[in-house]
Amino acid sequence: MAHLDRPHEGADGAASSPAVAFDRAGYALADGRWLVRGLTLEVGARETVVLVGRSGAGKTTALKLVNRLLDPVEGEVRVGGRATAAWDPVALRRRTGWVIQEVGLLPHLAVRRNVGLVPELLGWERERIDARVDELLDLVGLPTAEFGSRRPHELSGGQRQRVGVARALAADPPLLLLDEPFGALDPITRAELQGEFRDLVHGLGKAALFVTHDLREALALGDRVGVMAGGRLAAIETADEFLNSDHPEARALAATFDGGRRGG
């Protein structure tokens, strides 16, 4: 876990402001039910923060507040130092890589087109898009020559998720949002992809906010791990300290992990 030694924020000036800052952010449904409340959390410019918690704890809602798929009803979320409300949603989303489980790829487009989508939306030249697509598909181990013209349904689950990660990285966004990206995979493929993901994101120096209900995954990938419960951030610790946390929700999660820990 050598990466834990790195400071949460990069040394250079540009990276000194956090990539994402939640400032007492809250989101409620029309019926008044709060999905996220009073969330305060910063993700450093090169940091991976993982949010864990049960289903319905508000993890996905928190992610969607970052790329303006949802807008906070109280507090604010800042991306690159600017409140999301001040961002044009389209511009914000094009500089924010988003990886989701399964359906994230467009079923009618070949792998190549899926990966090149955001650069295409940004109006890059054809040759530059092609070069970038080749580079990224190589990076995730699915060379264009073999996989570029396949449709998503012609890939395995693991291959689809690799394409999803490649697509999120395509326009070289400073920030990645990942919503249970490996949730539907078998344990072996999942472990492989986790390893690749960690190397990739740390190697590229991206900020990442990652959501999962799997504590093992959270501890493997996160510089810091936050526990969400009932829409609130119950605890946030570095991955190393997490298992020693005395917060009840963190203990409850840690208890699920004991078996896995002996096994691993």
Partner 1 sequence: MGDLARFLAANRAQVLDLLGEHMILVGIAVGAAAALGLPLGVIATRDRRIEAGVLGVANVLQTIPSLALFGFLIPVPILGGIGATTAIVALTLYALLPIVRNTHAGIRAIDPAIREAARGMGMTERQLLTRVELPLAAGLIVAGVRVAAVISIGIATIAAAIGAGGLGVYIFQGLAMVDDTVILAGAVPAALLALVADAVLGRVARRLTPPGAPGAPSGIRPA
Give the residues across from 92 on adjacent strands. Answer: none
Q: How far is the CB of 96 from partner 1 (least distance, A)?
A: 8
The set of residues, in sequence order, having a beta carbon less than 8 Å from that of 15 and lying 6+ positions away, is 9, 44, 45, 46
If one asks whether residue 160 binds partner 1 (CB under 8 A), the answer comes out as yes
Candidate residues 98, 147, 182, 197; the one interacting with partner 1 per rule CB under 8 A: 98
Give the number of residues in contact with partner 1, rule: CB under 8 A. Answer: 25
Q: Is 142 in the site for partner 1 (CB under 8 A)?
A: no
191 is an interface residue for partner 1 by CB under 8 A: no
DSSP SS3 for 122: coil
The answer to the question of residue 187 lying near partner 1 (CB under 8 A) is no
Out of 28, 69, 191, 252, the residue judged to bind partner 1 by CB under 8 A: 69
Q: Which is nearer to partner 1, 116 or 226 (CB)?
A: 116
Bridge partners of residue 52, in order along the sequence: 212, 227
Q: Are 46 and 6 in contact (CB under 8 A)?
A: yes
User: Minimum distance between the CB of residue 45 and partner 1, rounded to whole angstroms?
Assistant: 21
Pick from 211, 221, 259: which is nearest to 242 by CA? 221
Tally the residues of the chain: 264
DSSP state letter for 182: T
CB closer to partner 1, 4 vs 91: 91
Contact pick of 152, 158, 174, 222 for partner 1 (by CB under 8 A): 152
The neighbour count for residue 240, using CB atoms within 10 Å, is 13
Residues engaged in binding partner 1 (CB under 8 A): 67, 69, 90-94, 98, 100, 102-108, 117-118, 121, 151-153, 157, 160, 167
